[in-house]
Amino acid sequence: MADLLIELFSEEIPARMQAKAAGDLKRLMGEALKAAGLSFDGADAFATPRRLALHMTGIPESTPDVREERRGPRADAPEKAIEGFLRGAGVAREDLVERADKKGTFLYAIIEREGRAASDVIAEALADTVKNFPWPKSQRWGTKSKDSTSLRWVRPLHSILCLFDGAVVDLEVDGIKSGNTTRGHRFMAPDEFSVSDFADYKQKLLDHKVILDPARRQTLVHDTAQTLASAAGLELVADEGLIAEVAGLVEWPVPMIGSFDASFLEVPEEVLILTMKKDQKYLVTRDPATGKLANKFIFTANIEPSDDGSAVTGGNERVIDARLSDAKFFWEQDLKGKLEDNLPALEEIVFHIDLGTVAERVERMKKLSRYLADFIPGCDADAAERAAELAKADLVSGMVYEFPEVQGVMGRYYAQAQGESDAVANAIRDHYAPLGPSDDCPSEPVSIAVALAEKLDTLVGFFGINQKPTGSKDPYALRRAALGVIRLITENRLNIELEVLLKAALSSYIFIEFRRYSRGEKTILGKDVIQMHFVFEKTRAFLDDVGIFESELRYQDEISRSKAIEAGFVQPDAEPDDQAILYTDEAKAAKANAWVLFADPKHCIVDLLNFFGDRLKVQQRDKGVRHDLIDAVFAKGDDDLVRILNRVAALSAFLESDDGANLLAGYKRAANILKIEEKKDGVSYDKPVEVGKLAATEAEALSGALASAKEAAENALISEDFEGAMAALSGLRAPIDIFFDKVIVNADEADVRANRLALLSEIRSAVNTVADFSVIEG
């Protein structure tokens, strides 16, 4: 048993790739050794900016000897068949033995392979791993790159160290020969040195100013930064992701503290933090008394400078001052104008080529936000519309142009500066949220309205142009948008039917679209106002149900209809809601092309409802809710998310009770018998029971219980009392148990049998009023 040490020494590996690369090296070498029959006890991989290292322990000197017998053709088989077998098995004729069994005499090849030396296996495995390493991006370099099949690595690879049991394992990859040497820190200890084993390697690296283990570098950065901050009377904002990145940029971390001009603190801190973190990889600090950002930052150098560090610190301070003065310049520039002055510029920004400009998106969001305000307790409709109007205005500010990550955040500052209410300003900031499952979800009424409008507009638009997510592809983040809608509705306990919301979003598209036509604007979306007639024809009925923007839409509908009549596409005496009568080919073509954007609006809504169903299931499953219970409730066709989740909760609690579990068992029994008998007889027993012909008191008792339980459950459901509905059902447990205990369903008399089966069918329907029990597992 011996140890293996590998180091792949290269030019600087991007910080973000190091951890995965170390993991890949460990995995690939482990797999390759195992595949060759070489076991090992343990493996640890490490990465620094310039090296990947792997240490494996407990590897045997060689792979075990292998003896294999392989059966071939019959001894009297044609010569060709025997030759083929010899080739396949890789043995000579004289190595074959004959063996007889019941079926005849067969030839057997005895293949014996001696174990291979571990170092040979390692050499092969490592060469293979290096050649096929899964870097996210890789490159060729140097004189070898004349050939486009030359070795690819993340950056030029300079040396390979490979020691097994203290001896160099010889291998060569594209001209790089393995050895037992490496180098230390680029600036502080650049000379080559040799190592004998892992312990020696680690120690000598340390002597040469390299800390091999990224975890140790991270701890060092974290602890030193903390000490520096406390010494300055400040609190470190310990950003672990950033610390990991910093540790990937240095082999010898030397955290130091610097400061920037306090006047920059006038600029919103989100921008300051972003600049320091993203551009400079600085850790920031806060004043523990006020919680406000302090003008001191911690950066991590890769050297112990030959002076006291003042040159490095001074340099970093100059850089951050220059960067922050850029930010301050934008902040001051932006504040010279008003946020609302930016609105005309949104007309120039394309949201999506098939969905119009951002200005049009804003128009739709305004309408939708106002509409949504009615469903959100305490939401002021004017404020919602105003917030939607300004929500995207910061996209054309200098600051957001320069730092796209602070979209929304800047909008809030600029809105406050022009005197908007807090509700409006906060909604501008929050309307992108929530961005994920654990992100904060807006809870202020106006914010909820605009955040919902933003996401619904996206979802309806992209489903409308058939850009749905497929597999792992979701370029417009529609899954995230749907999850956002789900969270906004359920976490704020809003009683809204999804279908209504989706139709409202759709109608705002129609409205804006029509306005383009009526303004005579050439558009990419369709041809003329007549086509709108066909859009209305497809959507009129179901938009009417929702009653959204009724008068405006009706007016548009009339205009487009009269134009269609004028053009001779529609008979003047056709009722508005009738299917229009078309009598020219041109008219048919116009109908076929009618607003390709929503070629089939009904289908778009149905697709979206299914999409939401799937997202809700995924979300609830991630929270540990049984998906069969969600299916059972979904099958009832509800689209009020809060109601669905209440129902799921009640159902889940009920099924955990004794009554619930037994009722489910009784239901399954009834449903199974019915299924078998209905199939056998080829009829449905879903018909009224004639109580007089049940011919058993237990059956009559059950029939009575069913009727009253069903009624009670239905009444409870009307008032959304799901616990009450479940309680009503739980009363059925006893009569069902007694019925199955005492009564034989398949009675000899046909009449009695039919009636008893109809009774089972009533059990099914009574229980199914609450949820579809047939999809519940158990």
Partner 1 sequence: MILTLQNYWADQGCAILQPYDLEMGAGTFHPATTLKALGPEPWKAAYVQPCRRPTDGRYGENPNRLQHYYQFQVILKPSPENMQELYLGSLKAIGIDAALHDIRFVEDDWESPTLGAWGLGWEVWCDGMEVSQYTYFQQVGGFDCKPVSGELTYGLERLAMFVQGIDNVYELDFNGAGISYGDVYLENEKQQSAYNFEIADTDKLFEDFRKAQDECAKLLEAKLPLPAYEQCIKSSHTFNLLDARGVISVTERQAYIGRVRDLAKGCCVAWMEKNGWEA
Q: DSSP assignment of 17-72, as one string?
A: HHHHHHHHHHHHHHHHHHHTT---SEEEEEEETTEEEEEEEEE-SBPPPEEEEEEE
For residue 435, give the nearest of 415, 416, 408 by alpha carbon.
408
Strand partners, 44: 55
Choose, by CB under 8 A, the member of 318, 588, 603, 675 that binds partner 1. Answer: 318
**Is residue 642 a contact residue for partner 1 (CB under 8 A)?**
no
For residue 268, whether the previous peptide bond is cis, meaning omega lies within 30 degrees of 0, is: no
Which region among 6-14, 222-230, 475-483, 513-521 touches partner 1 (by CB under 8 A)? 6-14
Cα–Cα distance measured from residue 617 to residue 634, given in angstroms and rounded to the nearest whole number:
10
Cα–Cα distance measured from residue 358 to residue 346, given in angstroms and rounded to the nearest whole number:
5
Which region among 154-162, 218-226, 360-368, 455-463 touches partner 1 (by CB under 8 A)? 154-162
Q: DSSP assignment of 456-512, as one string?
A: HHHHHHHHHTT---BTTB-TT-HHHHHHHHHHHHHHTT---BHHHHHHHHHHHHHHH
Cα–chain center distance at 536: 36
**Is residue 155 a contact residue for partner 1 (CB under 8 A)?**
yes
Measured CA distances, 118 to 36, 43, 125, 232, 716 (Å): 9, 16, 10, 56, 74
Choose, by CB under 8 A, the member of 325, 421, 523, 769 that binds partner 1. Answer: 325
**Is residue 336 a contact residue for partner 1 (CB under 8 A)?**
no
Which region among 225-233, 343-351, 470-478, 651-659 touches partner 1 (by CB under 8 A)? 343-351
For the bound state, the minimum distance from the C-beta of residue 297 to partner 1, rounded and expressed in Å, comes to: 10
For residue 468, give the nearest of 635, 638, 614 by alpha carbon.
614
How many residues sit in the footprint of partner 1 (CB under 8 A)? 50
Strand partners, 107: 98
Q: DSSP assignment of 607-652, as one string?
A: HHHHHHHHHHHHHHHHTT--HHHHHHHHTTT--BHHHHHHHHHHHH
Choose, by CB under 8 A, the member of 99, 144, 278, 292 that binds partner 1. Answer: 144
For the bound state, the minimum distance from the C-beta of residue 596 to partner 1, rounded and expressed in Å, comes to: 18
Q: Which is nearer to partner 1, 18 or 490 (CB)?
A: 18
**Is residue 306 a contact residue for partner 1 (CB under 8 A)?**
yes
**Is residue 146 a contact residue for partner 1 (CB under 8 A)?**
yes
**Would strands 104-113 and 157-164 be described as parallel, antiparallel, or unpaired?**
unpaired
Choose, by CB under 8 A, the member of 44, 170, 348, 777 that binds partner 1. Answer: 348
Q: Which is nearer to partner 1, 320 or 633 (CB)?
A: 320
For the bound state, the minimum distance from the C-beta of residue 269 to partner 1, rounded and expressed in Å, comes to: 20
**Is residue 521 a contact residue for partner 1 (CB under 8 A)?**
no
For the bound state, the minimum distance from the C-beta of residue 348 to partner 1, rounded and expressed in Å, comes to: 6
Which region among 264-272, 342-350, 624-632, 735-743 touches partner 1 (by CB under 8 A)? 342-350
Residue type, 260: F
Which region among 23-31, 148-156, 377-385, 580-588 touches partner 1 (by CB under 8 A)? 148-156
Residue list 598-617, contact with partner 1 (CB under 8 A): none
Choose, by CB under 8 A, the member of 100, 231, 289, 322 that binds partner 1. Answer: 322
Q: Which is nearer to partner 1, 90 or 315 (CB)?
A: 315
For residue 534, give the nearest of 570, 506, 504, 505 by alpha carbon.
570
User: Burial of 574 by CB count in 10 Å (0-12 exposed, 13-18 middle, 19+ buried)?
Assistant: middle
**Is residue 187 a contact residue for partner 1 (CB under 8 A)?**
yes
Residue 472, token pair as written in the block:
């792992």
**Is residue 321 a contact residue for partner 1 (CB under 8 A)?**
yes
Choose, by CB under 8 A, the member of 141, 476, 542, 611 that binds partner 1. Answer: 141
Binding-residue pattern over the window 285 to 304 for partner 1, x denoting contact by CB under 8 A: --------------x-xxx-
**Is residue 718 a contact residue for partner 1 (CB under 8 A)?**
no
Choose, by CB under 8 A, the member of 37, 84, 305, 469 that binds partner 1. Answer: 305
Choose, by CB under 8 A, the member of 7, 9, 43, 49 that binds partner 1. Answer: 49
The CA-CA-CA angle for residues 67, 68, 74, to 5°, reads 140
Phi, psi (degrees; rounded to nearest 5) at 137: -145, 140
**Is residue 397 a contact residue for partner 1 (CB under 8 A)?**
no
For the bound state, the minimum distance from the C-beta of residue 718 to partner 1, rounded and expressed in Å, comes to: 52
**Is residue 11 a contact residue for partner 1 (CB under 8 A)?**
yes
Cα–Cα distance measured from residue 588 to residue 583, given in angstroms and rounded to the nearest whole number:
8
For the bound state, the minimum distance from the C-beta of residue 247 to partner 1, rounded and expressed in Å, comes to: 13
**Is residue 475 a contact residue for partner 1 (CB under 8 A)?**
no
Q: Specify the 3-state DSSP secondary structure of 176.
A: strand
For the bound state, the minimum distance from the C-beta of residue 280 to partner 1, rounded and expressed in Å, comes to: 6
243-266 as b/e: b if 16+ CB within 10 A:
bbbbbbbbbbbbbbbbbbeeebee
For residue 210, give the nearest of 377, 339, 47 by alpha carbon.
47
End-to-end CA, the chain = 52
Q: Which is nearer to partner 1, 197 or 321 (CB)?
A: 321
Q: Which is nearer to partner 1, 143 or 290 (CB)?
A: 143
Cα–Cα distance measured from residue 168 to residue 180, given in angstroms and rounded to the nearest whole number:
6
Cα–Cα distance measured from residue 581 to residue 585, given in angstroms and rounded to the nearest whole number:
12
Q: Which is nearer to partner 1, 93 or 146 (CB)?
A: 146
Choose, by CB under 8 A, the member of 39, 139, 593, 684 that binds partner 1. Answer: 139
**Is residue 377 a contact residue for partner 1 (CB under 8 A)?**
no
Residue list 218-277, contact with partner 1 (CB under 8 A): 249-250
Residue list 79-138, contact with partner 1 (CB under 8 A): 137-138
For the bound state, the minimum distance from the C-beta of residue 159 to partner 1, rounded and expressed in Å, comes to: 11
For the bound state, the minimum distance from the C-beta of residue 496 to partner 1, rounded and expressed in Å, comes to: 34
**Is residue 148 a contact residue for partner 1 (CB under 8 A)?**
yes
Choose, by CB under 8 A, the member of 4, 15, 53, 96 that binds partner 1. Answer: 15
**Is residue 699 a contact residue for partner 1 (CB under 8 A)?**
no
Choose, by CB under 8 A, the member of 84, 117, 128, 145 that binds partner 1. Answer: 145
CA dihedral for 729, 734, 735, 741, sign (positive or negative): positive
Choose, by CB under 8 A, the member of 111, 232, 274, 319 that binds partner 1. Answer: 319
Cα–Cα distance measured from residue 243 to residue 753, given in angstroms and rounded to the nearest whole number:
75
Torsion of CA 643, 649, 653, 656, to 10 degrees: 120
Can you give the binding site for partner 1, defined by CB under 8 A?
A: 11-12, 14-16, 49, 137-148, 154-156, 158, 187, 249-250, 280, 299, 301-303, 305-307, 311-312, 314-316, 318-322, 325-326, 329, 348-350, 353
